[in-house]
Structure 1
């Protein structure tokens, strides 16, 4: 189509094609084993798919209520109460969303104005900062240092100013696999107490925690919960990332503002899938068994790279594992990741893409949410390096 040479200013002038798209395209071009993007390559539970089909057959094919099907919101409320001892009213404090990314975008849009500062812990998933900038906000970075990626709470406190409107956290943390401990949450709670700062807690990997640890949701901490949006993902939990369905929980006054944006952003979410999720979630083992399921995959992957030249600290949560390649090459991580795809047919994500000023720690992120045969092929390649 011809252009008429319109003149305009980009609202996101620094945003280019994401590293996920770049790596994914290169992996497909070279037919590489893809351990880059965070999605499983095995099938979801047949029971869940049958429930969706049944909901369609039952006629649930028109708009769901704007906040989501009440039966699903009700079972989410029960789940959060059971797991965290926190009651969120299904009518006014839970909204079904098009995945966690939409929930995060909507919460930021509802509250961030021109010049507001938002603290983001880096490395960070790449959807936070564009949403902040689109709404005129200013991302303020706290860099987490490899290989521990622990939060320096003294440094965090120094970033808090009168302009701080919001903080975004992610636990379990993508890409590092860090989980926030109870002590971390108490530190955060103490620092935000007596402020009007809003917290977004990205908890999409809430049910993928290893080695007997617990997910310390902000819902467990009274003052944090009173100022927080908790964003979660059914796609991550139930191996159906393409369904793009999640939820957001927050106190009534915050959720009221959230829904003002939500109703004009997406209005409502896929109806038959909501009906299916409402029934599927009634069986707790569908999410409580995930820790063991993914720990088996993590342990299989780590056992396989133990004899390689890679260095690692076992991930504490998520289905990602960071591997330090500094004993193999001194190449920049983006260059090494590209060479692995082209020459060795295996795809990963370079972590510099998530860091402030593309800091390069010689670390790549691998997704182990894959079939055993896929992981076995990948491990054969990694041990050749």
Structure 2
């Protein structure tokens, strides 16, 4: 841009112009404006464990409240390493293989900015969390989209194999998957790992819902797959597991070489994460098995509450294998698309949801899917269910739909 021209004004860089404001911001703002029950954005309407919050308060009052090591304080890095061994049998060096970040989002950004060159390709499995494409764009790379196969969103092996090219630098794997709740099998992950090995590509595993896997299934972290041991960055956060989404404490785990790249970019993004919150999260991660078991049981009940109610109303429900999101198919309803449905639902019914088409780069592919979150108090879920049931019982699903 020629800054000598008086008629020109600074603007958003071209790489980010296609993205705009996130759908989560839009739907939460609409929900607040019309007084709807917010089942759109995935944050709880209850607080996390009191002892964890108290630990943070104590750490603030005790101090120091100054910069801490950029890689994260030792107690939290050690807690993460112990957790990887405890849950997955993976040995991790806390000093050279764990980095604490400002949430999982920053860890993903730091990984891409630290490892991806302009012109590289990054494979995204669709539906894909809406954070990934702009992050890839900011790194100067090109996203390559590979749609999973409905209704079970299985891995399209032939298409994925073709997507790997000499320019492929990375693939992002969200497991369990937001928004559909798919849990990738060990066999699927091993297949991806072999493709990465053959192509000398890395994998970025977004595993923030790792402790929310239902029906007796288990979560497989990328670092349990031999092909990924030296070519994967496993990213998670404490927000979902401990219902403290506003704290933004996340972390990345990888071999030393990849960790060096993550830390290099991380130091120039946020440098460090609040030390008091890190102290509290070190305590949280180390909580006994009873906490994790009760956490899963509580969300299993919430999943059942919402999904069963939606089925009784006549919706075609996609029961999640993991995460705290449930989706419905609206293809038999006379709405233009999922966005029109969600706007109508918030304004006229008083329940906010997320149009899942925003998880596809060609939105038409997901235009019939709507996502609800169930990380809410039972009273909140029941009030939302009552509003939806009342709306359905009036027979207004089709006749009042905007055309």
Q: Do both share a fold (TM > 0.5)?
A: yes
Partner of 2:3: none
Alpha-carbon shift at residue 361 of structure 1 (Å): 4.1
> Which SS does the other structure have where 1:26 is aligned?
helix
Residue 379 of structure 1 and its aligned partner are, at CA, apart by 0.9
Residues 234 and 254 of structure 2 are in contact (CA less than 8 Å); yes or no, is this contact kept in structure 1?
yes
What's the counterpart of residue 358 of structure 2?
353
Distance in 2 between the 1:57 and 1:74 partners?
23
Matched-pair contact (CA < 8 Å) for 1:309–1:327: no
Establish whether residue 6 from structure 1 lines up as the match of residue 19 from structure 2: no
The answer to whether the 8 A contact 1:112-1:137 is kept is: yes
| 126, 130, 148: which one aligns with 2:130 | 126
Q: 2:294 aligns with which of 289, 292, 295?
A: 289
Counterpart for residue 46 of structure 2:
42
2:374 aligns with: 368
- Decide whether the 8 Å contact of 1:146 with 1:361 is kept in 2: no
3-state SS of paired residue (1:370): coil
Secondary structure in structure 1 of the residue aligned to 2:124: strand
**Residue 271 of structure 2 aligns with which residue?**
267
Question: Which of 61, 68, 74 matches 1:70?
Answer: 74
Q: Alpha-carbon deviation of 1:7?
A: 5.1
TM-score calculated relative to the size of structure 2: 0.92
The 5-angstrom pairing of residues 202-351 of structure 1 reads 202-285=206-289, 286-351=291-356
CA-to-partner distance for each residue in 1:214-243, whole Å, 9 max, x for gaps? Answer: 001101112212101111010111001011
Residues 122 and 144, structure 1, Cα contact 8 Å, conserved in 2: yes
Unaligned runs of 5+ in 1: none
Q: CA deviation at 1:196?
A: 1.4
**Whole-angstrom distance in 2 between the partners of 1:334 and 1:282:** 41
Q: In the TM superposition, what is the alpha-carbon distance from 1:60 to its structure 2 partner?
A: 3.2
Q: Which residue matches 1:183?
A: 187
Contact 2:70–2:271 (8 Å) recurs in 1: yes
**Post-superposition offset of 1:281:** 2.3
Deviates more, 1:351-360 or 1:166-175: 351-360
Root mean square deviation of aligned Cα: 1.5
- Unaligned ranges ≥5, structure 2: 1-5, 393-403
Cα pair 1:30 1:342 within 8 Å, conserved? yes
8 Å CA contact 1:321, 1:367 repeated in 2: yes
CA displacement, residues 111-157 of structure 1 (integer Å, 9 cap, x when unaligned) = 11111010001111111111111121000000123332111111100
Show the counterpart of 1:106: 110
Deviation of residue 195 (structure 1)? 2.8
Match of 1:17 in 2: 21
User: How far does the alpha carbon of each residue in 1:66-93 deviate from its partner, in whole angstroms, 9 at most, with x for none?
Assistant: 1001011111101101111111100010
CA distance in 1, matches of 2:10, 2:215: 55
2:31 corresponds to which of 14, 21, 27: 27
In the comparison of the two structures, how many residue pairs are matched?
A: 383
Q: 2:382 aligned with 1:379, yes or no? A: no
Contact 1:230–1:248 (CA<8 Å) still a contact in 2?
yes
Answer yes or no: is 1:56 the counterpart of 2:56: no
The Cα shift of 1:330 comes to 4.2
Contact kept? 1:170, 1:203, Cα under 8 Å = yes
Distance 2:194 2:379 in 1: 47
Q: Secondary structure at the match of 2:317?
A: coil
